[in-house]
Amino acid sequence: MSAKAIREATGKRILNQHLTGTAAEPCRFAAVSESTDWGELVAENPWLRSEKLVVKPDQLIKRRGKLGLIAVNADLSAVRSWVGERMGRDQTVGRATGKLRNFIIEPFVTHKQDEEAYVCIYSHRYADTILFHHEGGVDIGDVDAKATKVDVAVGASITAAEIEEKLLKKLPQLKKKMVATFIEKLYQVYVDLYFTYLEINPLVVTSKSIYILDLAAKIDATADFICRQKWGEIEYPPPFGRDAFPEEAYIADLDAKSGASLKLTILNKSGRIWTMVAGGGASVIYSDTICDLGGAPELANYGEYSGAPTEQQTYEYAKTILSLMTQEKHPKGKVLIIGGGIANFTNVAATFKGIVTALQEFQPKLVEHNISIFVRRAGPNYQEGLRIMREVGQNLGIPLHVFGPETHMTAIVGMALGKKPIPSVTAMEFSTANFLLPGGQNKESPLQSRKSSTSTLAPTTTSRETSGQASGQSGDAPQRKGVLFNKSTKAIVWGLQTRAVQSMLDFDFVCCRTEPSVVAMVYPFTGDHKQKFYWGHKEILIPVYKKMEDAMTKHQNADVLVNFASLRSAYESTVDTMNYPQIRTIAIIAEGIPENLTRKLILMAQEKGVTIIGPATVGGVKPGCFKIGNTGGMMDNILHSKLYRPGSVAYVSRSGGMSNELNNIVSKATNGVLEGVAIGGDRYPGTNFMDHIMRYQADPEVKMIVLLGEVGGVEEYDVCNALSDGRITKPLVAWCIGTCAGMFTSEVQFGHAGSCANSDRETAVAKNKALAEAGAHVPSSFDSLGDLVAEVYESLVQEGVILPAPEVPPPTVPMDYSWARELGLIRKPASFMTSICDERGQELNYAGMPISDVLKQNLGIGGVISLLWFQRCLPPYVCKFFEMCLMVTADHGPAVSGAHNTIVCARAGKDLVSSLVSGLLTIGDRFGGALDGAARQFSEAYDSGLIPMEFVNAMRKKGQLIMGIGHRVKSINNPDMRVKIIKEFVLEHFPSTPLLRYALEVEKITTSKKPNLILNVDGIIANVSFVSILNLSEKRNLEHKTSEHKKLFYNTQDFLMLPIKMEIIQRVKWYRLLASRFK
């Protein structure tokens, strides 16, 4: 949602900070909630004791004075008593009943009735309207009829002189200049701080000052990245009658941190009907259907997830829904509807895996609360997703019914509510992913058999030329006026969206285009290069440019820009694009662009004759010619919906997800889609319904039109007017979703930013009625939309307006390797495998233990080493030993070769990596490298049965040093405390230490010859104690293992390399710092 209401206290705080240079007195107020400490409140606002006060609820309640929800001219004790009587109590406002929990206290402003005025500013598509009336207060009445209005065009400004002339004619002359200046500054704040609505009633205007008494405001929440510093922290309260739940706040926080869309509104926590729907438009339609079937009183929530959320995100979302469902039992049990349309790019299987994990986690509670689940979904990898759902359903112990695109989108609602029978067997689809399965092309579908009288099947083979002729489109044909796309359309894509570009190229290929539609990509964060893509079976290169100018200059035949820029940069990149006259159409995919910026784009586009599709859209499709980005979904849906060749039906929709569902409905009910556009779900789409419907009206190839509108806005009334005055003559099937809105007791903001009715005229019910009265074909519900489309189509066929052509099978498109592997159709040996670490699931695992458990159990560094090296949790004494080793070897001093070389390299001005490598390259037998040798020498001697004296003599005869023996400084008379500490710890805690005792006997022999030939720290840690751990960790002794296993277990160098590397990095940083200071 973009426009969000804020508390009166929040609005007045913002105006206090930014409304300057006027006669307005600063707003003094104190906010009171259930947790308010009155002593602290009075201390912070001492005027509460000394002045008369006004108190009222601050919970988005309209007409508080009429409802008696205001106390005036009261002292502090009376205010406390008044608040205490109402705090936490139920209050009914209209049909909504809620608890009063927030109040605002202000000084009472003594004034006369004729000093009250009214001012309001609100935004619409092309301008901001300022309303002013010289009378205000609770009895103002119909302000729209009484107030004087002035429109300020988007991007323009208004002066105090203009305000005085146009708005303040009935205001006393002495006050005009003061009020005009106030409104001028107020409007500047309104624009600069991205308000969408601001009403002050009454505005008290005395001879010298202005007082803002009651204030109601909405701001554009999508402008948070622009205005956060100016706004400060803002809490968006729920509509009155609906409490704010922590679960809603949790999902809102997930949504804010994700590129996906996650929404949750709790309507009735005790309800038995819960939904988990994918898609903003689909979520509204499911709510409509539930209400149509009488389920409104039991509907527990509204929500949606869309935009390709990750497995972890859908798990968190599903877990939240299930936790709410299982808090209260219902005597009839509960139902969970997991629904959605046909996804464009969301991996259905990936999202379902998150949902399945949550279902398995809640399995006992699902059984306890008698919950039934109904699933309907389609889109990329939906077959695997449905398979996963069916599989888990067999183990949950509850009814779980799963359906795909062969079932109407909302049919599961009737099944869940007991209004429709649940079929035992459903039809199977013939395709998967990017190609038709064997036999899928030849089998006659139910649609074709139903239309056998008017359509015949073509042969199963065809050439690319034949397909091109069948489409009725020539690659070089001139573009008709009003037609956005044809077979020659060329596009530039802003953003490195390789998956979307490949989807466009696959669509081009299956439509038998001779050349790819994408000629270049623009991505400012990399240098100019070429990106590899597939064109059918072949690979091609598409250039990627850093600058828009280069792309436009080198590809002047491109006339479409598909803009995948983020909401923060979409405005700038679109403005940049409109500087090039060759671009005639721009599709803006991003959702959440601030409304002020979108309105500026609309005006700029109109001036330059550019068509904008979006923002917040998946795009559009011209079957047989061109598609925008991910429109139409994966190739299986494109084939099923017959988008590879043109039909006779054109549609326009707000919802991108529902455009795919419309493709499916139209393809089953008619000969297919000729063109389809999703204008976008934001409040101000770049083009509106009429822009596209009038194009369709002018296109002779379009025989009938389908409109899918929704609650909010008034654009559908323009269609009604065009039907009434004869500008639209072609059959129009129309339906507005959101009919359920009137059945809720409190206001609900649906998935799209524009899906909220601000008046009765904006409701879906009123629009559907007006459309029907104007002559449109309006179904009784979305459920019957397909039937009505088929009925109108058949009448056109009977009249000879439409002549169905023989079906032409498309060429097959190879499946990408990555997608085939995702579907489990192929397998390939992994290039790398690990048995100790796995980060492919919901969280990182060390040897099968989730990282959260590693931290909760406080395993420490030693425990982590035991998991990663030994693939299990070792006893605490072993983990303690690991940590002791790291502590006593954390610093070897500056004299050893590795540290010395690192210092020299760092002082020479080399970078961190070069200095580190310099130190590592000098590791050898005298520094670090003795670890392997000592472990091998001692173990082989012990395993072969040599007594310590024989081992020492054998090494002397070979002329080899005994690794792990000897120290430059320490001796038998000056022992190394590190060795002593570790030796005592090992002897005390290790259950068996034969190799350590063997090494100590060797030390007795060597120190008898020379006192400094002691067992050093390398020997005690790596060569003796660590080998003992390896022996203890195995079920069999080392003598039963092969030499290869011995080499593996003796290789302890990596263990001590960790502190050595840490030490070297530390010294690089330290000596580079010294070097910089001594320059």
Catalytic site positions: 752
Helix, strand, or coil (residue 493): strand
Tokens describing residue 613: 């599709």
Q: Identify the CA nearest to 373 among candidates 346, 355, 347, 353.
A: 355
Query: Chain centroid to CA 931: how far?
Result: 51
Strand partners, 262: 305
Tell me how far CA of residue 885 lies from CA of 730, 964, 1052, 1057, in angstroms: 84, 15, 12, 11
C-alpha–C-alpha distance, residues 360 and 353, integer Å: 11
Yes or no: say if 474 and 646 are a contact pair by the CB < 8 Å rule: no
DSSP 140-182: ---HHHHSEEEEEETT----HHHHHHHH-TTS-HHHHHHHHHH
Q: Which residue has the tokens 């040897």?
A: 847
For 534: left if phi > 0, alpha if psi spans -120 to 50, otherwise beta; the answer is beta
Q: Which residue has the tokens 């240079």?
A: 21
Instruction: State the burial class of residue 137 (Cβ atoms within 10 Å of its Cβ: 0-12, 13-18, 19+).
Output: middle
Helix, strand, or coil (residue 720): helix
Tell me how far CA of residue 521 lies from CA of 390, 501, 589, in angstroms: 41, 9, 15
Alpha helices in 628-688 (DSSP H): 635-640, 656-669
Which residue spans within 775-866 are E strands per DSSP? 837-838, 845-846, 849-850
Yes or no: say if 975 and 1061 are a contact pair by the CB < 8 Å rule: no
Is the backbone peptide bond immediately before 850 cis, with ω within 30 degrees of 0? Answer: no
Helix, strand, or coil (residue 30): strand
Q: Identify the CA nearest to 412 among candidates 502, 282, 566, 518.
A: 282
Q: Identify the CA nearest to 12 among candidates 256, 203, 241, 296.
A: 203
Q: How many CB atoms lie within 10 A of CB 797?
A: 20
Interhelix angle 876-888/1026-1033, rounded to 10 degrees, is 160
Yes or no: say if 431 and 440 are a contact pair by the CB < 8 Å rule: yes
Determine the number of helices (DSSP H) and then strands (DSSP E) in the chain. 41, 37
Interhelix angle 689-698/715-724, rounded to 10 degrees, is 30
Instruction: State the burial class of residue 459 (Cβ atoms within 10 Å of its Cβ: 0-12, 13-18, 19+).
Output: exposed
Yes or no: say if 979 and 1015 are a contact pair by the CB < 8 Å rule: yes
Strand order across the 704-710 sheet: 626-627, 620-622, 673-678, 649-653, 704-710, 732-737
C-alpha–C-alpha distance, residues 410 and 695, integer Å: 31
Tokens describing residue 979: 């060795």
Tell me how far CA of residue 364 lies from CA of 235, 272, 359, 371, in angstroms: 37, 18, 10, 11
C-alpha–C-alpha distance, residues 573 and 557, integer Å: 19
Helix (H) or strand (E) holding 32: strand 30-32
C-alpha–C-alpha distance, residues 507 and 93, integer Å: 54
Distance between first and last Cα of the chain = 57
